């Protein structure tokens, strides 16, 4: 009994050290990302303001899109830092009226490169009813979708299909987004840890897929801040379905 307690203490101390190292690594990386993103943002703004000479309307449109994209990345890095440092994670939300169907379609398009490389198809099924707009932070919900879709691609086998559906639950006035893959799945004993900070399942590590163990942790926090939730169904080697629920108002 005494030996077991000592072993647990040692293991606990080892895990605490790992958490501190990972946390420091995230801080350093985030700082470097911010420095590079600052340069990108400043230069794009200078182009948009014609500091380097005249630009045509098409060039201006693309430069402004790139500028928006850089600002989105900066927001993601800032939230990553906030989540990394806070004991009680807080995401600063900027809610707006969002067409969630369009947001899913836009997000899926972003993954064309990755899906093409693995010959994976992402199918977004047309909802069977009209989905109303919802009040949410568009950039943050995009982060949620990106995180789950990215995982689905990473842990799917080549030529697999990822299925996304969107429906409404009129009973509790919510929308539900389901993202289903046929990948490696999650072991029963790992399910309760899957949303924990820095947790990475053994079967995921064995696949040689890199990850920080922060994606689903951040995802859950963003959804909770919105009054929403995330849950999953999964069988090892037989795929995973994530259910994202968001309140309509």
Partner 1 sequence: MKKILIIEDDLFLQGLEASKLTKSGYEIITAKDGTEAMEKIQEPGIDLVLLDLILPDFNGFEIMKKIRETESVKNIPILVFSNLSEEKDVEQAKALGSIDFMVKSNFTLDELVMHIETALKK
- Measured from the CB atom, is 80 or 222 closer to partner 1? 80
Among 38, 196, 237, 238, binds partner 1 (CB under 8 A): 38
| Residue 10 interacts with partner 1 (CB under 8 A): yes or no | no
Nearest CA to 40 out of 92, 79, 77, 6 is that of 77
Among 1, 3, 5, 51, binds partner 1 (CB under 8 A): 51
Q: What are phi and psi of 234, to 5 degrees?
A: -160, 150
Please choose, out of 38-46, 156-164, 174-182, 207-215, the segment that lies near partner 1 by the rule CB under 8 A: 38-46
Q: Count residues near partner 1 (CB under 8 A).
A: 18
Q: Could you tell me the CA-to-CA distances from 229 to 61, 86, 141, 164, 243 in Å, in that order?
A: 36, 20, 12, 17, 8
| Residue 85 interacts with partner 1 (CB under 8 A): yes or no | yes
Please choose, out of 43-51, 96-104, 145-153, 172-180, the segment that lies near partner 1 by the rule CB under 8 A: 43-51
- Measured from the CB atom, is 24 or 189 closer to partner 1? 24
Q: Report the distance separating Cα 204 and Cα 222, nearest Å.
A: 23
| Residue 91 interacts with partner 1 (CB under 8 A): yes or no | no
Contact positions with partner 1 (CB under 8 A) in 52-81: 74, 77-78, 81
Mark residues 97-136: x for contact with partner 1 by CB under 8 A, - for none.
----------------------------------------
Residues that bind partner 1 (CB under 8 A): 31, 34-35, 37-39, 41-43, 45-46, 49, 51, 74, 77-78, 81, 85
């Amino acid at each position: 009994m005494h030996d077991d307690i000592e072993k647990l203490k040692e293991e606990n101390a080892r895990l605490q050290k790992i958490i501190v190292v990972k946390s420091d690594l995230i801080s350093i990386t985030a700082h470097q990302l911010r420095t590079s993103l600052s340069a990108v943002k400043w230069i794009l703004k200078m182009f948009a303001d014609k500091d380097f000479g005249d630009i045509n309307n098409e060039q201006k449109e693309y430069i402004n899109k790139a500028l928006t994209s850089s600002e989105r990345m900066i927001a993601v890095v800032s939230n990553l830092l906030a989540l990394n440092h806070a004991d009680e994670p807080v995401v600063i939300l900027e809610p707006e009226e969002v067409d969630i169907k369009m947001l899913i379609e836009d997000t899926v398009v972003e993954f064309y490169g990755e899906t093409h490389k693995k010959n994976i198809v992402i199918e977004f099924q047309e909802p069977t009813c009209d989905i109303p707009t919802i009040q949410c932070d568009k950039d943050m919900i995009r982060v949620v979708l990106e995180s789950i879709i990215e995982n689905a691609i990473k842990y799917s086998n080549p030529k697999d299909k990822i299925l996304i559906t969107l429906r409404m639950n009129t009973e509790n006035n919510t929308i539900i987004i389901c993202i289903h893959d046929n990948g490696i799945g999650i072991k029963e004993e790992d399910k309760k840890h899957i949303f924990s900070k820095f947790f990475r399942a053994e079967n995921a590590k064995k696949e040689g897929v890199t990850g920080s163990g922060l994606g689903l942790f951040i995802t859950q926090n963003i959804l909770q801040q919105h009054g929403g939730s995330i849950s999953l169904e999964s069988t090892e080697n037989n795929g995973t379905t994530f259910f994202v629920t968001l309140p309509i108002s």
